[in-house]
Structure 1
Amino acid sequence: MMEVFEAMRFSAKLFLLGALLLLWGSAAEARMVSIDRDTVNIRSGPSTNYSVKWEVGRGFPLKIIASKGSWYKVRDFENDEGWVYAPLTSRKAHLVVKKPVINIRSGPGTNFRIVTQAKYGVVFRTEKRVKGWVRVRHESGVTGWVARRLLWGW
C-alpha cells in the first residue's frame, strides 16, 4: 500500500513539474522587446540574406514569438510578423498608440486635463503604471498619462 502511495506522489510531482515547464515556456515566448537603434530592418527570415519587410524606429515595441540563433521572430501591434537581429533590441518598456487619436492627460484618469494628443503609431517610453493608466514619455520630452487600453506593448 505504501508503494502505491509513493508512486501516486511521484506522479503528482511529475505532473506539476510538467505543468510549470509548459507555463514557463509560454511566458518565455511571450517576451517583449523594443528597438534599440534609430532604424532597424524587420526581415522575412533570420539573416541579412532575407528581404526587408519593413523598418522600425527606436523604442518600437515587438512581441517575441520565436527565436533562431541571434534572431527573434516578432509580431507588432498590427499583427505583422518578421525577424529582427536580437542585439538591436532592448528590454526597455515601450508602448505604441493603437487608436486613431488618443488624449495624453496630466494625471491617471479622465478627470485630469488633456496635455496633448497623439496619433496612431506614435511610440512612447513606459514610465509608470497605475490602475489601468500608464505614465509615458515621448522622445520629444512630452510626458503624461494614457489609458492602458489605448496602447500596445509593455
Structure 2
Amino acid sequence: MKFLPRVAAFAVVAAVALFAVAGTARAADGRGPVTNLPLPRFVSLKASEGNVRRGPSLTHRIDWIFVRRDMPLEITAEYGHWRRVRDRDGAGGWVHYSLLSGARTVLVEPEMLELHAKPDETSAVTAQLSQRVIARLGTCSQSWCELEAAGHSGWAPKSALWGVGASEIRE
C-alpha cells in the first residue's frame, strides 16, 4: 500500500516537469506559452496604476507600482494570467494581463525630438517632443515611425524611441 502514494507523487512531479518543458520549448521558439504571441513584445499600461509583483500571483509581494497610464512596457514572459514586463529602465516584474493593452506607445529618448511632416530629416518640422514624453505609435518603416502626442503628429527616427523593435515594421 505504501507503493501507491509514491507512484502518485512521482506522476504529479513528472506531469509538472513535462508541462514546464513544453512551456519552455514554445518560449524557446519566440512564442509565449499562454498566448502564442511573440516574446518579447511591446504593450502599454492600460490603467493609471499597476502593481508590479515579485511573482505571478496575488500572493507575491508588490515590489513597486507603475503610475503612468499608456507607459510602454516589454513583455518578456507569460504564466497564466500574468505577464513579466520591464520598462525602459529595465525595472519590472509580474503584472496581471488585465492591466495591459495592445495599444502601442513609445517613450521619447532624446532631450528634444523633432517630428517631421514626412519620414525624411529634410522635411518640415511639425512639432518637438521632450524627453520621456509618451506618444502613440502608428506606422513604422525600417528607420522611421509615425507618432501622435498632445494633438501633434509627425515622423521620428525609430532609433530615438523606446517601445518599438529595431527591425519592427508596422503598417
Shorter-chain TM-score: which interval?
Answer: 0.7 to 0.9
Once residues 57 and 70 of structure 1 are traced to their aligned partners in structure 2, the CA distance between those partners, rounded to angstroms, is: 21
Matching of residue 25 in structure 1 with residue 31 in structure 2: yes
Matching of residue 110 in structure 1 with residue 121 in structure 2: yes
Once residues 25 and 67 of structure 1 are traced to their aligned partners in structure 2, the CA distance between those partners, rounded to angstroms, is: 10
The residue number in structure 1 matching 2:84 is: 73
Matching of residue 40 in structure 1 with residue 49 in structure 2: yes
Computed over aligned residues only, the root mean square deviation of the Cα atoms, in angstroms, reads 2.4
Once residues 21 and 131 of structure 1 are traced to their aligned partners in structure 2, the CA distance between those partners, rounded to angstroms, is: 26
Aligned partner of residue 57 in structure 1, secondary structure: coil
Once residues 58 and 152 of structure 2 are traced to their aligned partners in structure 1, the CA distance between those partners, rounded to angstroms, is: 36
Q: State the 4+ residue runs in structure 1 displaced beyond 4 angstroms.
A: none
Richer in strand (by share): 1
Once residues 70 and 132 of structure 1 are traced to their aligned partners in structure 2, the CA distance between those partners, rounded to angstroms, is: 34
Change (3 A) 1:54 1:119: farther
> What's the TM-score, normalizing by structure 1?
0.74
Percent identity, aligned pairs only, is 25
Aligned partner of residue 88 in structure 2, secondary structure: coil
The residue number in structure 2 matching 1:133 is: 144
Aligned partner of residue 122 in structure 2, secondary structure: coil
Note the residue ranges of structure 2 that are not aligned, 5 or more in a row.
1-24, 165-171
1:147 positional shift: 0.5
User: 1:32 corresponds to which letter in structure 2?
Assistant: F
Once residues 119 and 146 of structure 2 are traced to their aligned partners in structure 1, the CA distance between those partners, rounded to angstroms, is: 8
Once residues 63 and 127 of structure 2 are traced to their aligned partners in structure 1, the CA distance between those partners, rounded to angstroms, is: 34
Note the residue ranges of structure 1 that are not aligned, 5 or more in a row.
1-18
Instruction: Say how many residue pairs are matched.
Output: 134
